[in-house]
Amino acid sequence: MKAIIYRDNGGPEVLQLVDREVPEPGPGEVRVRIAVSGVNPTDWKTRAGATNPKQFPEVNPHLDGSGTIDAVGAGVDPGRVGQRVWLYMATAGRPTGTAAEFTVVDAGQAVPLPDGASFDIGASLGVPALTAHRALTVAEDGPSRLAPGALDGRVVLAAGGAGAVGHAVIQLARWAGATVISTISGPEKARLATAAGAHHVVNYRETGAAEAIRDLAPDGVDIIAEVALGANLALDLAVLRTRGTIATYANDGGKPVELDVRQNMMLNSRFQFLVLYTVGAEALTAAAEDVAAAVEDGAMPVGEEHGLPLLRFPLADTAGAHRAVEDGTVGKVLVDVAS
């Protein structure tokens, strides 16, 4: 089979297209013929060595993808052969991911993909959708699971709604019944956040952004899904309701975070920091189940018309896909694996 690998940390140039043996699934595992592989910021950061030291002599990257189960290991229902699936966290604890014609994962990490959902949707879920689910389910008095009506009466602020996680936050929050506000930096990103389903968009760069959000949510925002905590903290605290939650999954821009302790005491604010690698199996499984239900309901479409432009690369140019993500391309970067 064709696969992308790297043996040393470094820039996109360390990625190589090679031939490898088709892997065999072990007990409790499934083998998936990959159709589309999704690229996330964590994929290039891992390749570059920016997060943790490389764990394996050779790594086949990418956490997320979609395809069709073509073999199962012992203990797995053989009826799953032929099932369309989306994958998440494929490289967590393994050297093999979805940037290959075949990959093997634990059966639970291969989630059924409805016939009406494209492989593009499947490859765009994974990290962004599960991160969004976590951000929306950590409030002190909020739901721990998402379903239609779970967020009725709540106001959610999706910071950076034109990004992949922000897009998933908008879609999941809207599906669950929340009023969704998204902060954006200009007209084009406002168009994308609106297409994703945001009820309101506010340009955070303009004077009066906090007042504009407060006009939309006089009692304050219940949950903020934050991508740039250092840059946006003042705005977040200006619009957060008492006992509200700021769930932060990144700190884009790297600005240091300084907290006014008394201000947060008076708000009884809650900060939830999150990353999928250490969130735990129970949270991942719950998130995958809820995201699958949203996909079944048609609530997670992708593409320009749905607020998430798709940028495609062939498997042989996975390095180009990594460069696009590193350069901050707006939308979702996909690698077409199946010919």
Residue 241: CATH number of its domain: 3.40.50.720
Rounded CA gap, 126 and 233, in Å? 27
Q: Are residues 326 and 191 in the same domain?
A: no
Quote the pLDDT of residue 52.
76
Rounded CA gap, 315 and 319, in Å? 9
Quote the pLDDT of residue 297.
98
Q: Are residues 181 and 101 in the same domain?
A: no
Residue range 27-44, pLDDT digits in tens: 999 999 999 999 999 999
Q: Are residues 144 and 260 in the same domain?
A: yes
DSSP E strands in 185-260: the ranges are 200-203, 221-226, 240-248
Instruction: List the domain range (segments joined by +) for residue 17.
Output: 2-125+300-336
Structurally, the chain folds into a number of domains equal to 2
Domain membership of residue 139 (yes or no) is yes
Domain membership of residue 291 (yes or no) is no
Q: Are residues 224 and 182 in the same domain?
A: yes
Quote the pLDDT of residue 55.
86
Domain of residue 21, CATH code = 3.90.180.10
Classify residue 23 by its DSSP letter.
P
Look-up of token digits 């604010």: 269
Angle between helices 164-175 and 187-196 (to 10 degrees): 40
Q: Are residues 114 and 144 in the same domain?
A: no
Domain membership of residue 141 (yes or no) is yes
Q: Are residues 142 and 266 in the same domain?
A: yes
DSSP-assigned beta bridge partners for residue 245:
223, 270
Q: Are residues 103 and 206 in the same domain?
A: no
Sheet holding 270-273, edge to edge: 200-203, 179-184, 155-159, 221-226, 240-248, 270-273
Quote the pLDDT of residue 50.
87
Give me the residues of the chain with pLDDT under 50, please.
Answer: none
Rounded CA gap, 172 and 179, in Å? 11
Classify residue 140 by its DSSP letter.
T
Domain membership of residue 295 (yes or no) is no
Q: Are residues 170 and 212 in the same domain?
A: yes
The number of residues in the chain equals: 339
Q: Are residues 262 and 310 in the same domain?
A: no
Quote the pLDDT of residue 330.
93
